[in-house]
Each structure stands twice: as structure tokens, then as C-alpha cells.
A and B are shown apart, each in its own frame.
Chain A
Amino acid sequence: MTRMTMREAISKALWEEMERDERVFIQGEEVGVWGGTYAVTKGFYDHFGEKRVRDTPIAEAAIVGSAIGAAMTGLRPVAELMTINFAFVAMDHIVNEAAKLHYMFGGQFTLPLVIRAVSGGGRQLGATHSQSPDVIFAHFPGLKVVSPGTPADAKGLLKSAIRSEDPVLFIENATLYQMKGEVPDDEDYLEPLGKSKVQREGDDVTIVAYSKMVPAALKAADMLAEDGINAEVVDLRSLRPLDMDPVIASFKRTNRAVIVEEGWRSYGVGAEVSARIYELAFDYVDAPVKRVAQAEVPLPYNAELEQLALPQTEDIYHAAKEVLNG
């Protein structure tokens, strides 16, 4: 184990997989000479060269589209989108090609492709650069959507994504890049795609979260512990496929749940997870499931207003108290 930041964990996963497999290469805006706009690929260009660390034009359809084509020939591209907000420019290629070609041609094409993208707000980037639209991409069968909430998971999940035979959208959160944690050194350390994970055990209330909301939920759980409440925190890690087993197992013990997401509430992760709780564990419901999410407004530039709209640790704490009193 080594203590490192999430940025280092992601970078290490990429580096190790590129060392391990010649077919793995990176392409995207400023991934090469610049070293990555979030410095994730710093040093890659000098080590792996321009063939495997490919700077592209600012043209997301070309970035994702050509990565799909290259994957069809047997390569394993990792296409980087500077932020997930630009994925809309490549939406057709993500939705109509990456998610469908394997099925639509009777299994003839395989697309071992990873698309990395940074999601989330809180950095005063204004409405177009601050969204958390992760759930939109999880809507489509054929695509896998993964988003880690700890440095260890970031490494293990990204390595699994790169080794996967299926297209994976790997969503990172810019405000988590500095988050530190213990990360296994093993070069074959893999975390399974499509498996939720209990990040903290407890019997009183279930808090379901992913990505940036995992550390927030863990903090809220600490606050609840001071009040004598033991919260269990379940990290979804994958939005598609969505693994409800640990959520349901937890809920059957706690009978109360709060679902947290950074994105907007309507039609969101909270909506999906709470619906499944009602479908799978209705007899265990002691209080209506609560959802904590982003206020439904295009995120403003002003820092105070922006933070007001984003879900906070205190919100999770209060929501948990509310379901316990309900």
C-alpha cells in the first residue's frame, strides 16, 4: 500500500496498463506535450512517445469516434474528454456507436474502449463547465459507467475498465484529485466493474452515494456517530450496471435510506435507487427514502451561490436525521 492522491492513483493505473499492454494508448486534448489539463498524464508523452500519447484537435466527435474505430481494429484506446460537459459534443458517438455497435451487428465488433471524463461543480467554472450529468450516460444499455469515490477504487476500477472488452465511461471528479488514500501497489490490483461497495458499516441508516458524495457521506456519518447514530455508507462505484445487492442488504437492516448525488435530482440516481428499494424491499421501509442532490438551477459562477446549490455534508447529515425521525 502507498498513500497517494486520486490523481496519482489514476495516473498510475494508466501508466501500468500502458506498460503492460502495447495496445493501450491515450488520446485527447492536451494529453501529450502539455501533460494533461489536470496533470494526470504528466510525463507520459516523454516516456511512451507520440504514437501512444496522442494530442488531438479540440474535436470531441473525432476523439471518441476515432477511438471507437481504433478499438474495432483490436486496440484499447483510452480517450480523454477534458470534462464531461464536452461529452455532449461526442454524444452521438457515445450513445449511437459505442453503446450499440456490438449488439447491432450481432456481436461482430468489440469495443474495448475507455472514455475518461471529469465531472462535477464547485470550481466557479460557470454553468456549462460545472455539470454532473453522469446519470444521462448510465441510461444506455451497452455502455458501462464507472465513477470512483476513493483513490484505491480509482486505480482498481480504471485498470478493470482498460482491461474490459466493453466500452466504459470512466467519470472522475476534479475536486477529488487531491484526495489522499491508501492504494494497493499490486500491478494486477483490479476492482470489479458493476459492484457496489460498503465503505463504512452501520446499522441505523443507509447512505447511498458515489464519486465526490462518498467522502461527503463518510463525513456526514462521522457527524452522525457523534449523535450516537451508526450510518452505513454504500458506494455505488458503477452507475451501469447498477449493483443493488449491498444497498438492499443494508436497507433490510436499517430500514431507512438517504441517496446522495452531486447532480440534479429529477430523473437522477436517487430516483433510480429509491425506486429499486421500493421494488425490492418494500416490506422493510420504515420511512420514505430521502434524496439529497443539486438544486435544480444552472450552476452560477458566484462562489457563494454555487455552494448554495451544491449538496453539502450538512445536507446529508440532516437528511439522515430526518429519515430516522420519520
Chain B
Amino acid sequence: MEKKESLDLYKEMVIIRRLEERAAELYQLGKIGGFLHLYIGQEAISAGISSVRQPQDRLITAYRDHGWAISAGIDPKAVMAELLGKVDGCSKGRGGSMHMADTELNFWGGHAIVGAHIPLAAGLALGDVYQGNDDAVTICMFGDGSTNIGFFHEGLNLSKVWNLPVLWVCENNQYGMGTTVDRASAVSEIRQKAEGYGMANERIEGMDVMAVRQEVARVLEKIRKEGGPYLLEIMTYRYRGHSMGDPERYRDKAEVKKWEEEDPIGIYRKYLIENKIATAKGLDELDDEALQIVDEAEKFAEASPNPDKSTLFENIYVEPTPVEYRGYALEHESEEQ
């Protein structure tokens, strides 16, 4: 990896961390509504995978998607604006925290129903195979919790039956909401579930971005060469609750602290210094730059307007289609005119 690329990777992880910390603050202030699921602690996975994902590789993930949005290349400004529900958000303020996407970047969302995007991923890969995009792999991310729902099994089975080029990646952060993997899953190693579909699989560690990068690059290459699906289970840990409304009664602080010592940003920082790719001072400067980017993103999002009320019914359909009912107030308004 070039030096610049190594440093960009570091900065990207710090931006994700700082942006989400800021999002948590804005959530407490009531500026972000709905649910907010933070990715803090898992950044090495989105950063590592995205650094080896090729432009033709489609990416799709679940609702813990801010890190993925940034790693996919969405401007932090558009991410923050989406969190605030503003018109300049990557989904024009219609999606919110759980529904970020940018098709130009081959990032297909941000999906909030647990496991529902897994069959969609099989379809994305089918689209590439059908259209002769032989070099493309669909990367589908999901949590450990989603491997217990039927969609997962239907999607994996189909991908194997049709030999679709999908890299299935389970981000095993060890809790489905507040329930540990062993209390929710019949097998404690998620990768074993791939065995039932005769699918190649592996479990790797996910706190070291360089390791994630290396392993995923190898598996992507294998899929590109040999075709067919592959399941990768990546062990990680989320430092924050499932969402902002999580009282975290299910784990003790010592456990969180132990994992925080394995902090992916800390590990990578150490690596960069030890290998003389960067100095502590240089990295501190990158930290400042990241913070500045987050400050600017916040400012941008605050300044971005709410979507115009006249656009409420935009994009329900592609083709011009009558709205069946505009709600009492709007119907009343148009009657008066």
C-alpha cells in the first residue's frame, strides 16, 4: 500500500469515529430522530473491506451503515445531512440513519429489516452474472443476529444453487441487540452455517484493519477466479449500545473496556508508527483534520434546508402516478385554492 493510501485509511477510520460521536451528541440534542445505531469499534471492517473493494463490486449492508457510507466514499457532509433529515442528505432526507446509499459509488444501502437485504444481494449478483459483468463480486454485510432469520438461509441457499459471486460477510459483534450469539444461534461460530450450503467459509479477526484488508483481498480474488459464493465471519465488537436507546444491562463495563483496548484505530495507529509509515505527530494532525471534516459536515448539515413540503410525494413511483390521498391538511388546502 502506498503511504498516502495508508494514511487515508487511518483518517477514514477517525472520521467515522468522530462523526458518530458527534451524531450521538446531536441525537441527545434531539437534532437526529428515529433510531441511531453506532458502528464505533467496528471501523476496521468497513475501512478494510472498502480499501480492497473494486469499483465494479456492489456493496450492500444492514442498518448500522454510517461507517459503510463513509468508507464507500459518500461525503461526510451528505451522511450528516441525511442524519439530520435534510435535503442534501444522500437519500434526500427520506431515509435517515438506516437508509444511506449512493448507487454511483455502487453502494446499495443501508437496509433496516433484519436480513431482508440478503436475498437482494443474491439478486444484485445475479444482475452482474446475467449482464456478463464477470469481474464483479457483490459484497453483502450483515450482523450475527440476522443469521437466525429465514431470509439469510434462503439467500445463501440460492447463491450456492445459482453459483453467484457473493462475498457474504457476517460482522459478528457478539450481540443481536442485547442477546449474545450463543443465546440466539444454534451454533456459536456463524461460519458453520455456510457448511449447510456446501459453501466455503472462514472466521477471521476484525479489529486489525491491515489483517481485514489482506484476508478480504484474498477471498475476493478467489471469488473472482473461481466464482461462487463465500462466507466470511469477521469477529468484532461494538463499543456502544445496539442503538441510542439501549440501557446495556446485558454486558458489564469490564468486557467493553477489554475490547476498547483492542481499539481498531489504536491498533492501526501503532502499526503505522512502528512501521515508520507515520509519526505520532503526523497522525495527530490527521486526527485534527478528521475532526475538522466532521465540524464542517455538521455545519453543512445544519445549514442544509429541510426538503420542501411540495416534494412530499416525489419518488413514490418513477412514472407519473396519481397520489390516492394527500392527507387531510393538504387535501383541505387544495380544496380552498
A interface list, Cβ under 8 A from B: 25, 51, 54, 56-57, 59, 61-62, 64-75, 77, 92-93, 96-97, 101-110, 141-142, 144, 164-166, 194, 240-242
Contact = CB atoms under 8 A, between A and B. Distances in A.
Interface stretch (B98-106, B178-186, B204-212, B292-300): B98-106
Given A25-B130, A240-B324, A70 B124 contact: yes
B164 to A, nearest CB: 9
B91 A108 contact: yes
B68 interface: no
Given A69-B126, A70-B124, A72-B108, A96 B95 contact: no
B315 interface: yes
B94 A105 contact: yes
B228 interface: no
Contacts of B155: 61-62, 65-66
Nearest to A75: B127
B101 A108 contact: yes
Nearest to B128: A73
B163 to A, nearest CB: 12
10 contacts: A61-B154, A62-B157, A66-B120, A67-B123, A69-B119, A72-B127, A77-B123, A106-B89, A166-B319, A194-B321
Interface of B: 58, 89-95, 99, 101-103, 108-111, 113, 116-128, 130-131, 150-151, 154-155, 157-158, 161-162, 314-319, 321-324
Nearest to B129: A51
A56 B317 CA distance: 28
Nearest to A89: B150
Nearest to B127: A73
Contact of B122 (A62, A102, A240): A62
B324 A241 contact: yes
Chain A CB within 10 Å — which of B99, B123, B128 has the most?
B123
Contacts of A62: 119, 122, 154-155, 157-158
B29 to A, nearest CB: 25
A71 B123 contact: yes
Contacts of A73: 58, 123-124, 126-128, 130-131
B208 to A, nearest CB: 32
Given A62-B157, A68-B119, A97-B111, 12 more contacts: A25-B130, A57-B154, A57-B158, A59-B154, A61-B150, A69-B125, A70-B124, A70-B130, A72-B120, A75-B131, A96-B113, A103-B315
B123 A66 contact: yes
Contacts of B116: 65, 92-93, 96-97
A92 B91 contact: no
A61 B99 contact: no
Nearest to A54: B162
Nearest to A108: B103
Contacts of A164: 319
A110 B130 contact: no
A139 B158 CA distance: 30
Contacts of A240: 324
A261 to B, nearest CB: 18
A65 B322 contact: no
Given A59-B157, A105-B95, A166-B319, A93 B119 contact: yes
Given A96-B113, A166-B321, A65 B151 contact: yes
A106 B111 CA distance: 14
B131 A69 contact: no
A275 to B, nearest CB: 11
Contacts of B154: 57, 59, 61-62, 65
A104 B91 contact: yes
A165 B316 CA distance: 12
Closest 4 CB pairs of A and B: A69-B123, A65-B119, A73-B127, A106-B92
Nearest to A66: B123
A70 B315 contact: no
Contact of B92 (A71, A77, A107): A107
Contacts of A59: 154, 157-158
Contacts of A241: 321-322, 324
A194 B324 CA distance: 11
Contact of A166 (B126, B128, B317): B317
A61 B122 CA distance: 11
A68 B120 contact: yes
Contact of B124 (A56, A57, A69, A141): A69
B318 A102 contact: yes
A279 B116 CA distance: 39
A322 to B, nearest CB: 29
A165 B321 CA distance: 12
B115 to A, nearest CB: 9
Contact of B127 (A69, A107, A142): A69
Contacts of A75: 126-127, 130-131
Nearest to A112: B318
A160 B195 CA distance: 43
A142 B113 CA distance: 17
Nearest to B120: A69
A101 B95 CA distance: 9
A165 B317 CA distance: 8
Contact of A104 (B99, B102, B131, B318): B99
Given A62-B122, A96-B113, A106 B128 contact: no
A57 B122 CA distance: 13
B316 A142 contact: yes
A74 B106 CA distance: 13
B103 to A, nearest CB: 5
B94 A104 contact: yes
A83 to B, nearest CB: 18
